[in-house]
Amino acid sequence: MPVNYIHPDYEVIRNPDRCVACRACERQCANGVHEYLPDAGKLVCDDALCVNCHRCVTLCPTRALKIVRSGNTYKENVNWSGETINELYRQAGSGGVLLSGMGTPKPYPVYFDKILLNASQVTNPSIDPLREPMETKVFLGAKPRTVARGKDGRLQNNLPPQLSLSMPVMFSAMSYGSISYNAHESLARAAEALGVLYNTGEGGLHEDFYRYGKNTIVQVASGRFGVHPQYLNSGAAIEIKMGQGAKPGIGGHLPGAKIIGDISRTRMIPEGSDAISPAPHHDIYSIEDLRQLVYSLKEATDYRKPVIVKIAAVHNVAAIASGIARSGADVIAIDGFRGGTGAAPTRIRDNVGIPIELALAGVDKRLRDEGIRDNVSIVAGGSIRSSADIIKAAALGADCVYIGTAALLALGCHLCRSCHAGKCNWGIATQMPELVKRLNPDIGYMRLVNLLTAWRHEIKEMMGGMGINSIEALRGNRLMLRGVGLNEKELEILGIKHAGE
Amino acid sequence: MLREGDARIPSGCAISGIFSKAGKRMSGEAIIKSIAVMHERSNGLGGGFAAYGIYPAYKELYALHIFYDNTGAKKECEEFLERHFDIVNLSKIPTRKVKEVTDEPLIWRYFVAPLPTKLAESQLDEREFTVQCVFRINTRITGAYVFSSGKDMGVFKAVGYPEDIGRFYRLEEYEGYCFTAHGRYPTNTPGWWGGAHPFALLDYSVIHNGEISSYDANRRAIEMHGYKCSLQTDTEVITYIIDYLHRKHGLTYKEIASVIAAPFWQTIGRMEPAERAEHEYLRIMFAAQLITGPFSIIVGFAGGLLALNDRLKLRSMVVGEKGDMCYVASEEAAIRVIEPDLDAVWAPSGGQLVMFRLHGGDE
């Protein structure tokens, strides 16, 4: 066996005074970290296999386990960090592209954390959401330029199809295949219970979930997996996936090992074959081609479904969004570069794209400058972590947000960033039946409902503090925001003032 | 010190309006008396009046009231006016010296009609042409500010207490069927006459008490439709919203009230299907024109007057009626002082539209 150059990043520490050798950790770890030695009557572990997912830590009945950062260090070097060295060793050993799961962990600026919210004092009253109605309902879709009236003079409904949401949050696209059946069921049921939408991702829609159609966005991505007329007509909206924040400019690859049983059937591809989504849509090489796909999908669904176009936040996102807003799309979803993924090449995840805050502010301003903001609604994603992020995104100009990672965390994800390995101990990003069954959809959906219910309470409290009792009065209301520690250029792009101004 | 428009200045206020449904012309005395009762609600940093039906001799012409900082601005502005309008009459607006009112700019009045050639060239209707010229002057000509631009109506405003401002402008010498008045309580010292209220565009004039929390959402939305919010005040953006919905979309005032002080979704949910559909439509279509936070507004327009509170009624507003005469004010005392013997007096609830029109008027 060749020498492995890499010392494990983490150490599994077992407190022998607490461990009762019940072997729960051994059973729980799909990575095979823990091993029982019958002769010695104790458990040992191989740190090198540990992904730090905390499954064993959480389930250890005597709290005998913890995982700590390994103290082992290379000779200190600012330029060549330990991580950089390890990655290089790994590539020198494998000859392969580095893969990662979830959003970038790199210390790029998180602008949401440098923006502060306003509250009412004296000159206007704050509003108590416990005493007064506080509205979080939003509608997504294009707005016509003029009103229409019938012969009787009454207003006529000339609105294109709209999506109605009880609060401005949707679960973002995560395909069946990249996440498990139970994870999808949890998302679908939660969306239904909450009056919001979840998104199938690019893997088609399992036949069991057609019943949640009213709360489903069906996605059409470059691989066109599982796309057929019934699928398109089963959801509340159709999303064309042009890009993803975690990996702008590239496609996707679900290994053949995961294309089994229902997944193969749902995706309409043979078992065991790799599901490869091309980097571009091969029928969309330009904006006029996008327009054709938008209208093809509208034709296929009788103009009854809004069409969402999802793009990754890249440098010229504002111009791209402007083109999309004139392409017949009803909603633009922008995915920031901190967004999550089941698997992405590490270098792309960590180096391509721009933060959602800047992309959102730029797009909202551009569409207003061009007088076409009402042509589309804007959904911001990648990465929305809390109710405060939602309020800030709304005030920057978003109609709604997408959450992906936050929803998975609610289901038990511990952000070990190993989704691509397919051995998710929490039953989320895996297709191994014994792991999938660990995620109980009855509990999973309830935890998602709890999370968004809590967020809705917080959103109402913050809105009330600002004296706003309807979410549409917050949208694009940038005077409610102030920057801290941002330079003039950043403030200019975000369109906000600095705190104290 | 930043001038109004360079900073956003919240204000508390007093408002009052008098309207004769019979179209009986009355002098400005009564409105001064009414607003003076609410002296404590303003702080001497701004006040003003709008009066309707006061220019019967020129009622087909736009009456432009303009502040000039200096004669240079006047010259430049008049050159602009001559290029775009037929100026039928021009004069200083008559004022009297009042010791409480100081630092007055040059205050001029022009009765104008758009030049037919210019109008045809612009491909705009007459009203839109006039609006664009007003915006042009206010944003491009430094030191010139058009603060009134309607037909057969005029705005008179200044820095000071409203009762002093009324005397300054000799309001008792005007006769009209409708007057509104505003006393301002800004939280710092703008010191610029253009920042006082009413705010007006064409014949729409708005006086407002409150501080709307939706301001920047409303501002950014309305600016997309060609309006320029140069003053950063609530009243300005409310005026533009009303103009946008009424003149550009042809909404009725009742529909406008359902947009800016929209019923809550739970209320809409209890409506009859046809009414519910209409309200749902208005809320979705004009979501960006919803106004939240406290306000009471009185809107004057040709032939009518409307009053509206925010949907939670976070500001006081009382309505009184006596025969053909209608009164709206922040406080009942301001109505009683001019008409002690009212047929009815009541407080409209949040979001409830109150509208009075001349007999024979539509809607």
Task: Report which of A362, A253, A369 is spatially closest to residue A314, judged by C-alpha positions.
Answer: A362
CB-CB under 8 Å, B10 with A159? no
Task: Give the Cα separation of A94 and B134 in Å (integer).
Answer: 71
B178 in catalytic set: no
pLDDT of residue A256: 86
Q: Which of A65, A96, A127 is the last residue of a domain?
A: A96
Tell me, yes or no, whether A175 and A87 share the same domain: no
Q: Are A227 and A239 in contact (CB under 8 A)?
A: no
Residues from A contacting B (CB-CB < 8 Å) are: 120, 123-125, 127, 132-133, 135, 137, 139, 143-144, 146-147, 149, 154-155, 157, 159, 162, 368, 371, 373-374, 466-470, 472-480
Specify if A143 maps to a domain. no
**3-class SS of residue A377:** strand
Specify if A151 maps to a domain. no
- Torsion angle defined by CA atoms of residues B292, B294, B298 and B302, in that order, rounded to the nearest 10 degrees: -10
**DSSP E strands: which ranges in B134-266?**
144-148, 153-158, 175-176, 178-186, 199-201, 204-210
Chain B partners within 8 Å of A480 (Cβ): 216
pLDDT of residue B362: 59
The CATH T-level fold of domain B11-208+294-357 is Glutamine Phosphoribosylpyrophosphate, subunit 1, domain 1 (3.60.20)
Specify if A372 maps to a domain. no
pLDDT digit string, tens, across residues B205-249: 999 998 899 999 999 999 999 998 888 889 999 999 999 999 999
Domains in chain B: boundaries:
11-208+294-357
pLDDT digit string, tens, across residues A278-299: 999 999 999 999 999 999 999 9
Q: Are B76 and B181 in contact (CB under 8 A)?
A: no
Give the mutation candidate from B214, B279, B362 for the A interface (greatest A CB count, under 10 A).
Answer: B214
Tell me, yes or no, whether A229 and A324 share the same domain: yes
Phi then psi for A400, rounded to 5 degrees? -165, 165
CB-CB under 8 Å, B290 with A143? no
Domain span holding position A52:
10-96
Phi then psi for B92, rounded to 5 degrees? -70, 145
Phi then psi for A395, rounded to 5 degrees? -70, -25
Tell me, yes or no, whether A58 and A186 share the same domain: no
Q: How confident is the model at residue B188 (pLDDT cuts 50, 70, 90)?
A: low
pLDDT of residue A371: 96
pLDDT of residue B1: 57
The mean-pLDDT minimum among A103-117, B228-242, B302-316 falls in B228-242
Tell me which residue has tokens 């069409």: A307
- Indicate the number of domains in chain A: 2
Task: Give the Cα separation of A5 and A456 in Å (integer).
Answer: 49
Chain B partners within 8 Å of A474 (Cβ): 214, 217
How many percent of chain B have pLDDT more than 90? 86
Flag whether pLDDT at B259 surpasses 60.
yes
Give the mutation candidate from B245, B249, B292 for the A interface (greatest A CB count, under 10 A).
Answer: B292
Q: Which of A67, A96, A125 is the last residue of a domain?
A: A96
Q: Are A385 and A411 in contact (CB under 8 A)?
A: no
Residue A439 is given by DSSP the state S
**DSSP E strands: which ranges in A91-204?**
99-100, 115-117, 138-140, 148-149, 155-156, 163-165, 169-171, 198-199
Specify if A150 maps to a domain. no
Task: Report which of B268, B305, B270, B273 is spatially closest to residue B290, judged by C-alpha positions.
Answer: B268
pLDDT digit string, tens, across residues A402-431: 999 999 999 999 999 999 999 999 999 999
Domain of residue A209, CATH code: 3.20.20.70
- The C-alpha angle B325, B328, B330, rounded to 5 degrees, equals 155
- Would you list the DSSP string of A265-329? HHHTS-TT--EEE-SS-TT-SSHHHHHHHHHHHHHHTTT-S-EEEEEE--TTHHHHHHHHHTTT-
Flag whether pLDDT at B6 surpasses 80.
no
Q: What are the tokens at B224?
A: 């997309």
Task: Report which of A317, A348, A337 is spatially closest to residue A109, judged by C-alpha positions.
Answer: A337
CB-CB under 8 Å, B285 with A159? yes
Q: Which of A96, A120, A153 is the last residue of a domain?
A: A96
Q: Are A263 and A432 in contact (CB under 8 A)?
A: no
Give the residue from chain B lying closest to A139, CA to CA: B284
Specify if A141 maps to a domain. no
CB neighbours of residue A278 within 10 Å = 13
Flag whether pLDDT at A118 surpasses 90.
yes
Q: Are B265 and B290 in contact (CB under 8 A)?
A: no
- Is the Cα torsion angle B292, B296, B302, B303 positive or negative in sign? positive
CB-CB under 8 Å, B249 with A147? yes
Average pLDDT over residues A319-328: 97
Tell me, yes or no, whether A59 and A195 share the same domain: no
